[in-house]
């Protein structure tokens, strides 16, 4: 079996004194689309932030292509080809749409994504390229956030709740664009509250519950009942 692109080994994570992740084990194969579901507070965002380098962890707890990255800074992790689309978009208010995209490309990795191709994926952004990024609608801001991550030409993209706060039709539009994103062999991790959506776009799914993995399964081979039990921790 080929080496997983990301290997997580007994990952612990803390917010101050509060422990958010308890010895998490997780594997991600290259090129796959992995879904991570769970209730609020289950540790999903903490997991993504740990991978992205925004939290301090032990070096060996997170391995990227075999290399321990757990203790690296976020800017170092970005340079290795991991990009995060953060929860709540978190665009830079002082930057225009175009500047948000440009700064996403700062890492300077080679690849198919550039301003032109991002505008090709989300044409509405081209019209609004010079506007303040926070003056856009929620759905458009999500497009900017995704585009910003793409500009880094990552090999691994982490999507943190991209449907949060968006109308269903907008969510549909964004998820329709997903194949265009992951088609090129990019690995994607999708954290979602919308379980149906998460299962429909992914090949495998993990469920987190209070900082631990409560379920791992192929997305097309799991029952609603199993998910409910894993989600809420009822056995």
Question: What is residue 222's DSSP assignment?
Answer: -
SS3 string of 145-212? HHHHHHCCCCCEEEEECCCCCCCHHHHHHHHHCHHHHHCCCCEEEEEECCHHHHHHHCCEEEEEECCE
Q: Least distance from C-beta 86 to another protein, angstroms?
A: 6
69 binds another protein (CB under 8 A): no
Angle at 29 between CA 168 and CA 115, to 5 degrees: 55
Binding segment (CB under 8 A) for another protein, from list 17-25, 56-64, 73-81, 176-184: 73-81
Q: Confirm or reject binding of residue 135 to another protein (CB under 8 A).
A: no
5 Cβ contact list (under 8 Å, min separation 6) = 28, 29, 30, 31, 64, 65, 155, 156, 187
Segment near another protein (CB under 8 A), from 15-23, 70-78, 116-124, 180-188?
Answer: 70-78
Residue recorded with tokens 């801001």: 141
- Region near another protein per CB under 8 A, out of 61-69, 75-83, 170-178, 227-235: 75-83
Q: Which of 4, 38, 70, 104 binds another protein (CB under 8 A)?
A: 104
Give the pair of three-digit tokens for residue 20. 């958010």
Give the count of residues interacting with another protein (CB under 8 A).
Answer: 25
Which range binds another protein by CB under 8 A, 19-27, 90-98, 160-168, 176-184? 90-98
List the one residue from 58, 94, 167, 180 that touches another protein (CB under 8 A).
Answer: 94
Report the residue from 84, 186, 199, 213 that binds another protein according to the rule CB under 8 A: 84
Q: How far apart are CA 133 and CA 90, in angstroms?
A: 10
The two structure tokens encoding residue 28: 């991600």
Enumerate binding residues for another protein (CB under 8 A): 52-54, 73-75, 78-79, 83-84, 86, 90, 92-95, 99, 102-104, 106-108, 148, 152
């Amino acid at each position: 079996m080929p080496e997983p692109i990301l290997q997580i080994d007994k990952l612990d994570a803390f917010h101050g004194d509060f422990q958010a992740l308890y010895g998490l084990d997780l594997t991600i194969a290259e090129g796959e689309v992995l879904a991570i579901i769970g209730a609020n507070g289950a540790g999903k965002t903490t997991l993504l932030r740990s991978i992205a380098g925004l939290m301090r962890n032990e070096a060996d707890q997170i391995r990227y292509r075999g290399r321990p990255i757990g203790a690296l800074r976020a800017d170092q992790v970005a340079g290795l080809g991991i990009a995060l689309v953060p929860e709540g978009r978190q665009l830079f208010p002082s930057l225009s749409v175009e500047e948000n995209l440009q700064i996403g490309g700062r890492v300077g990795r080679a690849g198919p994504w550039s301003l032109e191709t991002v505008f090709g994926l989300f044409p509405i952004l081209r019209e609004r390229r010079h506007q303040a990024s926070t003056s856009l609608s929620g759905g458009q801001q999500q497009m900017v956030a995704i585009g910003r991550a793409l500009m880094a030409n990552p090999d691994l993209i982490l999507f943190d709740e991209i449907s949060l706060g968006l109308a269903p039709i907008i969510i549909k539009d964004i998820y329709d664009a997903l194949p265009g994103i992951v088609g090129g062999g990019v690995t994607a991790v999708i954290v979602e509250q919308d379980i149906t959506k998460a299962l429909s776009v992914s090949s495998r799914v993990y469920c987190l519950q209070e900082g631990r993995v409560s379920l791992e399964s192929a997305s097309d081979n799991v029952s609603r009942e199993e998910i409910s039990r894993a989600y809420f921790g009822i056995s």
